[in-house]
Amino acid sequence: MNPAKTIGERLAEAGVSRRAFLKFCTALASMMALPPAAGPAMAQAIATRERPSVIWLPFQECTGCTESITRSHTPTLESLIFDLVSLDYQETLMAAAGHQAEAVLAAAMKENFGKYLLIVDGSVPLVEDGAYSCTAGRSNLALLKEAAQGAAAIICVGTCSSYGGIPRAAPNPTQAVPVSAVVKDRPIVNVPGCPPIPVVITGVLAHYLTFGNLPELDPLGRPKAFYGETIHDRCYRRPFYDQGRFAKTFDDEGARSGWCLYELGCKGPVTYNACATLKWNAGTSFPIQSGHGCLGCSEPDFWDRGSFYRPLAAADWGSAKTVGAAAAAGVALGAAAAWAARRRQDRFVKEAAAPADRKPEG
């Protein structure tokens, strides 16, 4: 690939008109809550830049994140990601295999040292020196440490690389950790979701290309533009929540009328993501719209936060056993206190009944 050409030239070669690209940038700008004028400025900035080298490393993952972005409908915003970057290494998508693939990786890291973007999907297992997940005989851990050294920034795609995800679920047999637990000295942006919304990945890249830095992040390292609000904040079923109208089962009248899914375990109120506004499959729908509560997949440890079908309000108060033990302890304490009080009474009564035994006062 010849990275010397600008993105604008490449897009033109690929048959993407200036108008279509402008539309794409305007749409991205509005998604990122930038002012309307930012769209053309973005288009201008991106078109004149060279495509950055991108190295995509898959670690302990299910390839769902890659599927999410590659299976999205074309031509859409998300598919443009492949025109914006020079994707130099991506095991699932590249034609090369075996030693050739490894040679491509080594060359890309060397040629663009300090400049390439590193995209990671999947968590990093630590146990046994990372032996639970290896590529070409090298552990993910070793590969990440090496690749991170020359990365201008790291984009963690998916909940696994962002927070450990499903591999990290209790009892976490591989001691899986997120990228941020291994790499401390590089800018990292988390794009969580299981999988993440494809256009969010594109949005982060477009921001990087336009402004040369990473977007503003929330305390969990997510771009605020996409993860600034909860699903519940923007959910179209929210009016039903406010009115107190809730589906009780997945097939009752309430469910059919589109009432709120809170009672059926929806985690929308505590989940920061853009599903309710950007939606999936070219803006067709998102889980809540298709009748299922939000699982909270873009939040850390979402797999271990209790059943997906248990209402959020049903906090973990214990069990009949723990409450029974507390009750038994309370009754025993109460009985002991009463017994002590009775003994004191007895002593009083005894003393009162035998005044002669008492020494005269004074």
Partner 1 sequence: MDLLAFARGPGMQWATAIFVAGVLWRLVGVALLRRKPDLSAPRVAAKWKGLRLIVLRSWPRKEFLGGTAFTEVMGYVFHIGFLVALFFYLPHVLFFADVAQGLLGVTFKGVFGVAWPTLPGGIIYFASAVSVAALIAVLVHRLVNPVKRLISNFDDYFSWFVTIAPIATGMAAYSHIGAPYQTLLALHLLSVELLMVWFPFGKLMHAFTIFAARGSTGMLFERKGATL
Under rule CB under 8 A, residue 333 binds partner 1: yes
Q: How far apart are the first and last CA of the chain?
A: 110
Question: Which two three-digit tokens encode residue 42?
Answer: 């973005």
Of 201, 206, 210, the closest CA to residue 156 belongs to 201
Look at the block and give the residue holding tokens 């936060």: 305
Among 231, 275, 278, 295, binds ligand SF4 (CB under 6 A): 231
With CB cut-offs between 5 and 8 Å by kind, which of ligand SF4, partner 1, none does residue 238 bind? ligand SF4
Which residue in the set 21, 132, 262, 286 belongs to the binding site for ligand SF4 (CB under 6 A)? 262
Does 323 engage in binding with partner 1 (CB under 8 A)? yes
Stretch that binds ligand SF4, among 56-64, 93-101, 109-117, 227-235 (CB under 6 A): 227-235
Cβ distance to ligand SF4 smaller for residue 178 or 268: 268
- What's the CA gap between 201 and 70, in Å, rounded? 12
Least CB distance from residue 241 to partner 1, whole Å?
Answer: 7
Piece of the chain touching ligand SF4 by CB under 6 A; list 27-35, 169-177, 214-222, 236-244: 236-244
Tell me how far apart the alpha carbons of residues 298 and 159 are, in angstroms, rounded to a whole number.
6
Site for partner 1 in 236-275 (CB under 8 A): 241-244, 246, 248, 262-263, 269-270, 272
| Candidate list 106, 314, 347, 350; residue touching partner 1; CB under 8 A | 314
Token readout for 157 is 């795609």
With binding defined as CB under 8 A, does residue 45 bind partner 1? Answer: no
Nearer to partner 1, 130 or 265 (CB): 265
Closest CA to 201 of 230, 161, 235: 161
- DSSP code string of 180-222: GGT--SS-EEEE-SSSPPHHHHHHHHHHHHHHSSPPPB-TTS-
Is 268 among the residues that bind ligand SF4 (CB under 6 A)? Answer: yes
CA gap 338, 330 in Å, rounded: 12
Q: Is 283 in the site for partner 1 (CB under 8 A)?
A: no
Enumerate long-range contacts of 104-109, CB under 8 Å, 24 or more apart: 105/55, 108/53, 108/55, 109/55, 109/146, 109/147, 109/150
Pick the stretch among 19-27, 141-149, 150-158, 258-266 that binds ligand SF4 (CB under 6 A). 258-266
Q: Which of 119, 266, 278, 295 binds ligand SF4 (CB under 6 A)?
A: 266
